[in-house]
Structures are given as C-alpha cells and as structure tokens.
Amino acid sequence: MSAPLLCAGRVVVVTGAGRGLGRAHALAFAAEGARVVVNDLGVGLDGTPDPDSPAGRVAEEIRAAGGEAVAHGGDIATTEGAASLVRTALETYGRLDTLVNNAGFLRDRMLVNLDEDDWDAVMRVNLKGHFLPLRHAAAHWRAEAKAGRVPRARVVNTSSGAGLLGSVGQGNYSAAKAGIVGLTLVAAAELGRYGVQVNAIAPTARTRMTERAFAQTMAAPDAAGSFDAMAPENVSPLVVWLGSAAGPGVTGRVFETEGGRITVMEGWRPGPTADRGGRWTPAEAGDAALKLLAEAAAPGGVYGAEG
C-alpha cells in the first residue's frame, strides 16, 4: 500500500513559480496531492517585462501529469495583485492552506554605485512582495479562525544566505532578505493564535538568479548521473513538508538548504555581556567592548569578501 499524499486536499499558492525554485516547489506540491495556484508575473532578472510568461506553462505541466493547477499572472508587490492572488485560490478551489513566498529578482551593485531605483526595485519585489501576499492570506485565515474554522495554515518565506551573512555587491538584496527573516519571526508570533505556522528557508540552488554568481561551483551532474547538488528540486521536499499539515508547532524557524543538507539556522542570541550598573565613559565602553569581543565567537564571513 502506498503512503498517503502529504498535501492531499490542500490548496497551495506559490509566487514566482514560473521557473527555478518556484517551479520546482509547484511541481513537488502537486506531486503530493495539492491543488496549486502558480503565480508568476513573467519578468526578466532585472524586473523588466518578459514576453514569454511561464506561469501558464507550469500550470499546464501540472495538469498534464494529472494534477490540478491554475495560473495567476498578477503583480504580488501591489495590493490588488496580492489580493487577487488570494482571491484566485478561494474562487477556484474554495480554500487556501499554504502560501509559499518565492518571488524575487536582483539588481546587483556595489554600494557606491547602487542608486535609489535599484534599491527600491529590489525592496519592492523581494520584501514587499512577501509582505502583501502574507497580509492578505493572514486576513483570510484570521477571519476563518474567528468564524470557528481554525485552519492548519502554513507560510514558507524565502530568505537567502545573503540575508543571513551579507553578500558583497548585494546590499539591496541582502537587506531585503534579512527583512524577510524579521517578517517571518513577527508573523509566526502574531498569527499562531489563528492556526498559522510561518517559517523561512535560505536555499542554495542553480537558478536564473544564481547561475552567473556561482557559475564555477554549480556544476550539473556528470554523464554517469551523479547527484546534482545544485538542482532546485533538492530544496522543494523541505518546502513541501513545511507547507503541509505535518510538523505541528514548527514555526518561526529558518532553515538553510543546499543539495542533501538541511540546517536549522540560529539567529542573534545574547553573547558575552558586561554590566557596570551605571554609565560608562566612552573609553571605558571601548575597553569593555574589546574584552567582550575577545570572548565572543567570530562572525560568519560575508559572501564575496576578501580574506
């Protein structure tokens, strides 16, 4: 007897699902029995329009395999686009169980060359594009809970190693992805009473966004068919599990995932402390800081930093 499908009966929304990680997530959810709303605006890496919008193709791919899916091409970094996304799930399938926030893009510059438009564009798609779908989905789930229909809802946000450690040439992207971690922690704390669990992943995989940055290290499998550690499909099993009704109580967590490795990331925690019970002079504060730093663990290296 085969094992029951992990997401049978659930309705899952995946943003940025036309390619790369989002496409892999959408297909993996469908394979576990979910009905999927495939969102993708269909733009290039820099956010400019792409005439070949992929959301419909992924939805058709799911249907061709015997699953259920509908495409959504709205801009989820706008209030109407995010509201429409939630509406599409409810009007098409009558419910919403899981939101996977995956949409994002890059405009890489060193800080001295990073202009305001590049900053605003990356913040808009990566951070605002997480907030607005989350806000509209959360409003629906809160209403359900208040009506006595407490959901087993799940949100999976997409951060990055750049958001956890920083990445040279990606000040805007690093800040946005760090913001997603903060948003995840707040949402987990606020929405738990409504039956919503919220977690984040920091994935490493070969996608349009990473292929240039990691071209030397992200090799495809060799002719013998060895494990392709950088395939986006490696990330999706954890996302599907986090988006299922399994794992009650798993919320407010960040998982790094690469190849066959899953790591629970541990964020800021109090380290060495000194308290004199009164005000320090600047010199005394400096002496105390140096002594504490000598006792503290060294920080992780920023991606791309020399040395």
State the DSSP string of 202-239. EEE---TTTTTTTTTT-PPP-TT----TT-GGGTHHHH
* CA–CA gap between residue 207 and residue 22 (Å, rounded): 10
Active-site residue flag, 291? no
Query: Out of 93, 173, 174, 194, which one is annotated catalytic?
Result: 173
Strands 261-265 and 196-204: unpaired
134 three-class SS = helix
Query: Out of 159, 160, 174, 244, which one is annotated catalytic?
Result: 160
163 three-class SS = helix
Strands 68-72 and 98-100: unpaired
Active-site residue flag, 173? yes
Active-site residue flag, 177? yes
Among 94, 96, 26, 92, smallest CA distance to 65 is for 26
Question: What is the identity of the amino acid at 137?
Answer: A
Annotate 189-204 with b (16+ C-beta within 10 A) or e (fewer): eebeebbbbbbbbbbb
Structure tokens of 285? 């504060």
Query: Out of 167, 177, 194, 236, which one is annotated catalytic?
Result: 177
* CA–CA gap between residue 167 and residue 175 (Å, rounded): 10
**Catalytic (active-site) positions:** 160, 173, 177
